[in-house]
Amino acid sequence: MISWLMLRTAIMTTRWPAKSMAPLWRTSMFLALWALIGCGGGTSSTNSGPAPTQTASYLGTAAQHGQWYTLPYTMPTNPVHAALLHTGKVLIVSGSGNDPNNASPINTNPDYEATVWDPQSGKITAQRIGWDMFCNGMSIMQDGRVLINGGTSSYGAPAVVGGNADTPFTGLANSSIFDPATETFSVADGPNQGNTAHGRWYPTLTELGDGRIMSTSGLDENGNTNNTSEIYTTGQGWSSEIPGTPTGLDDPSFTFGFPLYPRMHLLPTGQVFYSASSSSTLVFDPSKQVWTFLAWTIYGGPVAERTYGSSVLLPLTPANNYDPKVIIMGGDNPATNTTEIIDLGQPSPTWQQGPAMAQARVEMEATLLPNGKVLVSGGSAKDEDATTASLQAELFDPATSSFSSAGANVFARLYHNIQLLLPDGTVFLAGGNPQQGSYEKHIEIYRPAYLFNSDDSPATRPTITGAPASITYGNTFTVQTPNTDIASVVLIKPGSVTHSFDMDQRFVGLSFTVENGGLTATLPKNSNLTPPGYYMLFLLNKAGVPSIASFVQVSGALAPVAAMEFKPLKAAPPYPVHGPQHVTESPLRLRKEMHMH
């Protein structure tokens, strides 16, 4: 058996080839040896790319900050959108890939692409798709298929946002479904080939507590903001449009309009919370189909808002009585390092100042980990400016409301970067596309510190030797494991990420009892807490080390909406209220010059 000492010695004493190739060789050898000692598999692929000019350090600091490394192959298509499938593979959708030369009308035979990446084998399989899914919204349906809505009908002028030549993109109403079993796309259900009523370029898709999926915002076929929502039901298609006009705003001079890619979260009550990027935050009742004003954010001003910042629904656990709290982070140009947290279990919730991040970030990523922390990475201090790239990753701990270092990744991750939690507890980071027609091809993987002992050797992981394929609301289920030191059982919904926001990720902790040869866990009755679909089931030991996940499908009797009667504060915010910014594929102007509408 290969020991950690042998691995360390091999890496430190090997005579490497030419200097420019040394980092790739070191990384490849490390991955291969790591796989042999049983902590994460190596990867292989027919894809190959140039050797990275540097790799993040992994010796001496992994136990404290985790470890970043660069895969020895590259991403062949621009990874604008990504979703983790219950097969363990990752669907990556590029469409025209932010390249107007690969889109109509310039190109009469455009190569609209999607790819499927297998993290275990390294195999990346590309396919052409029938329409331009660039800048769509994606969410994983309760049966594990992926619903894609909206995309690009025509490119706008490549001008700085707010410039005289700023011409908006126009959106498609198209909808398709990707089937992980066949790895093919088909037309969505419903009349008009499953299309929405109008175009949606930059929509957000949100799964509701009954498994239906709501699409909100985007630019329509004329380049105007589609300030409505529509709800998709499998077998039926899209509902009629729901106006995005909230009640409860006392100021008649203010007219609300959704920003593009609004940050939305399903609450355990069945309501949907809109958190960012504008300063007015709302709540939606699906049973009444009404939006209501809830609270003003702290960060705001005549032109300031958290455009291309991120938003995360923090872990819902028995320990916090499944109390929903949301954190919003970063955004704007120049970017802010500020955060805010709101407790939506309170009848009159208000945004509270959270801890500052180590770096200001716009075009950032934020990903839930099995230990309940949030990995924050990527972005830059100035939008789409690699010289100001935010390479210092960090971890937000909800238990202490503080950030700590998560090491440093290597490559600037600007516009159109993506980040996903993988079933082995590592995190996939790719992309970055500040200029049309080119993108960052290197793939980076983050191994959190929970995968290491104090001497940087691989931690011994709990194992799941048996788990059910499906679990039902309100019932118990048994998980076989030889480990007797299990401290937590968690379900994490596979992510679907684009444009600095994961539309699907969700963390639900379960109560459990330890038994001989395993444990018995209980899935709460509330489908609004754990909406139907596939989840990654993780076991964590008392040291906080997670198992490799097993996928389980959650289903059963659906809970009705149990809407909380919020009492929003009527006081005006301490800054002038403004409408959402008009965003194109171009860099945001500095704050004082940003275009408003």
Q: What is the pLDDT along the chain (597 residues), one digit of tens a residue?
A: 333 333 333 333 333 333 333 333 343 444 433 433 333 333 333 343 333 333 444 444 899 999 999 999 999 999 999 999 999 999 999 999 999 999 989 999 999 999 999 999 999 999 999 999 999 999 999 999 999 999 999 999 755 544 555 688 999 999 999 999 999 999 999 999 999 999 999 999 999 999 999 999 999 999 999 999 999 999 999 999 999 999 987 777 778 899 999 999 999 999 999 999 999 999 999 999 999 999 999 998 767 899 999 999 999 999 999 999 999 999 999 999 999 999 999 999 999 999 999 999 999 999 999 999 999 999 999 999 999 999 999 999 999 999 999 999 999 999 999 999 999 999 999 999 998 999 999 999 999 999 999 999 999 999 999 999 999 999 999 999 999 999 999 999 999 999 999 999 999 999 999 988 999 999 999 999 999 999 999 999 999 999 999 999 999 999 999 999 998 877 777 776 655 444 545 555 544 332 222
Q: How far apart are CA 492 and CA 504, in angstroms?
A: 10
Cis ω on the peptide bond leading into residue 462 (within 30° of 0)?
no
CATH of 62-361+374-400+409-453+573-593, one of 1.10.150.20, 3.40.50.300, 3.40.50.2300, 2.130.10.80: 2.130.10.80
Contact criterion met (CB below 8 Å) for 583 and 259: yes
pTM to 2 decimal places:
0.89
Q: How far is CA 518 from the centre of its chain?
A: 32
Nearest to 558 by CA among 517, 523, 526: 526
**Helix axis angle, 4-13 relative to 22-36, nearest 10°?**
170
Residues of the chain with CATH 2.130.10.80: 62-361+374-400+409-453+573-593
On the 0-12 / 13-18 / 19+ scale of CB atoms within 10 A, 130 is exposed
What are residue 296's phi and psi, to 5 degrees?
Answer: -95, 140
Return the structure tokens found at 229. Answer: 């929502």
- Cis peptide leading into 175, omega within 30 of 0? no
CA distance 389 to 2: 38
H/E element, 29: helix 22-36
What local confidence, expressed as pLDDT, does residue 450 receive?
Answer: 98
Contact 493, 506 (CB under 8 A): yes
Question: Which segments of the chain belong to CATH 2.60.40.10?
Answer: 470-555
The residue ranges of DSSP E strands in 305-464, in sequence order, are 310-313, 325-329, 339-343, 352-353, 365-368, 374-377, 392-397, 402-408, 417-421, 427-431, 442-447
- Position 448 scores a pLDDT of 98
How many Å apart are CA 493 and CA 483, to the nearest integer?
Answer: 24
470-555 maps to CATH 2.60.40.10: yes
Q: Strand 506-515 relative to strand 501-502: parallel, antiparallel, unpaired? A: unpaired
Residue 176 and residue 155 in contact, taking contact as beta carbons nearer than 8 Å: no
Bond prior to 252 in cis (omega within 30° of 0): no
Largest CA distance in the chain: 72
Residue of 68, 60, 76, 73 whose CA lies nearest to 28: 73
* β-bridge partners, 550: 537
Report which residue type is found at 11.
I
Bridge partners of residue 281, in order along the sequence? 295
The predicted structure's pLDDT at residue 303: 72
Q: How far apart are CA 146 and CA 134, in angstroms?
A: 15
* Per-residue three-class SS string for 113-172: EEEEECCCCCCEEEEECCCCCCCCEEEECCCCCEEEECCEEECCCCCCCCCCCCCCCEEC
Residue 81: closest CA among 189, 157, 193, 176: 176
